[in-house]
Chain A
């Protein structure tokens, strides 16, 4: 099976280049991550992030044949040859397929991804009805791999100002939580022309999410919440 891998070593290379690799007798039922590990055996200078190998940690988010996805859950049989593997688009490349996610995490921190409670905390535990809990389904599953945010043109054009689909999905995850008490503050923080309203419902985020989540819907729900507060 033929592969074209993005290579870049900032201290050695003038600019990035695509390197061809050939793997013989590859089991097509295996995942792309397995192939990348074999490539690393051929050329030990090749670098990429990976960890759990089963789509839980979100470390090996890559641009595979032009679409963002996790290498560990992308079967080789689903890929057209030569398989072009590049780092996530729109992010500074540290080396080969490793990108600097600092901006992504900064936006994540900005939405305060934790419960904000002003009342005295309950003595035993927060109670939540099954209905209230079900509102968090489709939100809490995010693994922060960055596939969605780096597939979003609005994020490419305004990476410092637009929060991006992943952070906005988390913003809604806490807005939808019955235990959270920072509702107004969270909404106010998302107003303005950039932070959320740069989203033009392009829906690349929905297309690429390896967990099948829907950030566009979450953004829509945040707008609905804002509308409810105004009307």
Chain B
């Protein structure tokens, strides 16, 4: 059994991303509770910190990867015609990649600004 084993890797990454998202959410709630974000400058200052910035990028990467695995699981079960499944998978992957690029674009913007 190697780390490249396809089924195991996907399954494991889905769980690891879930753990990361749960931890991020918990920390985010704590941070927002102790330092309420009141306006744009406060929001900007918060995400200007590299740790929070990068952690947020990873958070969205986790969401999108987790969603990708989940949606693929649903499609493999419920959409049996191969061409249709392939088409939906392509659309979903384009959507998720576009969203990821947007997140990276936003976060790097805050980091530089």
Tell me the A residues contacting B by CB distance below 8 Å: 153-154, 157-158, 184, 187-188, 190-198, 200, 223, 226-227, 229-230
Closest to A199 in B: B11
Closest to B78 in A: A157
B1:A223 contact, CB within 8 angstroms: no
* A188 and B1 contact, Cβ closer than 8 Å, known pairs A195-B7, A197-B11, A223-B11: yes
Give chain B residues whose Cβ lies under 8 Å from the Cβ of A200: 73
A193:B77 contact, CB within 8 angstroms: no
Give the complex CA separation of A193 and B78 in angstroms. Answer: 15
Give the complex CA separation of A193 and B5 in angstroms. Answer: 10
* A191 and B8 contact, Cβ closer than 8 Å, known pairs A184-B1, A230-B1, A230-B2: yes
Tell me the B residues contacting A by CB distance below 8 Å: 1-3, 5-8, 10-12, 73, 76-78, 80
A interface secondary structure, majority = helix
Question: Mind listing 9 A-B residue pairs with CB under 8 Å?
Answer: A153-B77, A157-B77, A190-B7, A191-B1, A191-B7, A193-B76, A194-B7, A198-B77, A226-B8
Closest CB-CB distance, A228 to chain B, in whole Å? 9
Give the complex CA separation of A111 and B11 in angstroms. Answer: 21
Give chain B residues whose Cβ lies under 8 Å from the Cβ of A190: 7
Give the complex CA separation of A138 and B5 in angstroms. Answer: 28
A154:B7 contact, CB within 8 angstroms: no
Closest CB-CB distance, B86 to chain A, in whole Å? 14
Interface centre among B1, B10, B11, B76 (most CB of A within 10 A): B1
Give chain A residues whose Cβ lies under 8 Å from the Cβ of B77: 153-154, 157-158, 198
Give chain A residues whose Cβ lies under 8 Å from the Cβ of B10: 193, 197
Give the complex CA separation of A227 and B3 in angstroms. Answer: 9
